[in-house]
Every structure is written in structure tokens, then in C-alpha cells.
């Protein structure tokens, strides 16, 4: 969890020394715990959103409903998407389960470009894959429309 943050900070310093205008958004540096099942998160938690008075909606999808997770017998865990109640912008993504250390990168990209849960829900994800669980959670956040529950 610390190596990728330190790398970003190193690049920041090098760019600043070179006279460039570097950028780091600490909200978008993923946290990853390399256990089994893996744990990964980026952005705000529900507790942080509540403290800030931000209204949000939640979508989640359990790995037990994922075809790929069932095929590999790695069904523990879920993906949760937190999106702004009004704008639908993704504010946080939290995952526990198989391959989440890899899957969190899609959430970081989405949040870097201010994607909505609807944006993720409309992107084609290969089937069966673990990453389609993020799409399913986004579908759940946008009108409880998950396809595979």
C-alpha cells in the first residue's frame, strides 16, 4: 500500500525540481491489502461521506454471484460503489475478494476522469471476469439494475 504512494510522490518531486507542474490527488491513491481475500479501496468511505454531509447512493455486488468467481471457487467478498446522489459521480469504491488488488485500477481511472456509476455500468466488460463485478455494482448503484443477482 505504501510503495505506489511513494512512487507517485517521487515523481512529484522530480517533476517539481524540473520546473514542471506536478499533480497528486491523495484521494485517488488506492489502498490495497495483499491478504487472501485481497482488500482494495479508493476514494471516500461511507463514514467520510456522512461526516461531510454528502448525500450518496450505494451499489454492491457479491462475488458469489460472479460466474468467474464461482468457476474459480473464490466467491468470498463483494464490490461496493459509492456515488453522489445527485450527479452520480463515483466517490469511492471498496472491494474485498479475488483479484481486487488488480481490479481497483479501473475504479481509479474512472474517478480520475470524474466518471459516473452510469458510465461504468454502460461499458462492456468481458464475461466471465472478476472485473465485471465492478460493472454490476455500478448497475446496482444506478437504479438497482444489477444483471446477475
Q: What does the pLDDT look like over 73-119, one tens digit per residue?
A: 999 999 999 999 999 999 999 999 999 999 999 999 999 999 999 99
Q: Which of 4, 23, 94, 127 is flagged as catalytic? A: 127
**CATH number where 91 lies:** 3.30.390.30
User: pTM (2 decimals)?
Assistant: 0.92
Residue 127 catalytic? yes
* Any domain includes 22: no
Domain count across the chain: 1
- 40-55 pLDDT, tens digit per residue, is 999 999 999 999 999 9
Q: Does residue 98 belong to any structural domain of this protein? A: yes
Q: Which domain holds residue 123?
A: 27-141
DSSP-assigned letters across all residues of the chain: --HHHHHHHHHHHHHHHTT------GGGSPEEE-SSSEEEEEE--HHHHHHHT--EEEEEEEGGG-HHHHHHT----EEEEEEETTT-BEEEEEEEETTHHHHHHHHHHHHHTT-BHHHHHHS---SS-STHHHHHHHHHHTTS--S--
Amino acid at each position: 500500500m505504501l510503495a505506489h504512494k511513494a512512487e507517485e510522490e517521487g515523481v512529484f518531486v522530480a517533476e517539481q525540481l524540473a520546473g514542471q507542474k506536478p499533480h497528486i490527488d491523495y484521494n485517488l491513491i488506492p489502498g490495497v491489502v495483499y491478504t487472501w481475500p485481497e482488500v482494495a479501496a479508493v476514494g471516500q468511505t461511507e463514514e467520510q461521506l456522512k461526516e461531510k454531509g454528502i448525500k450518496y447512493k450505494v451499489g454492491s455486488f457479491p462475488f458469489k454471484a460472479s460466474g468467474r468467481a464461482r468457476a474459480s471457487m473464490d466467491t468470498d467478498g463483494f464490490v461496493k460503489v459509492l456515488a453522489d446522489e445527485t450527479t452520480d459521480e463515483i466517490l469511492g469504491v471498496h472491494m474485498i475478494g479475488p483479484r481486487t488488488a488488480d481490479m481497483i485500477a479501473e475504479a481509479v481511472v474512472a474517478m480520475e476522469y470524474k466518471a459516473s456509476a452510469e458510465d461504468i455500468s454502460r461499458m462492456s466488460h468481458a464475461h466471465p471476469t472478476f472485473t465485471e463485478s465492478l460493472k454490476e455494482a455500478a448497475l446496482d448503484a444506478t437504479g438497482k439494475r444489477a444483471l446477475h443477482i
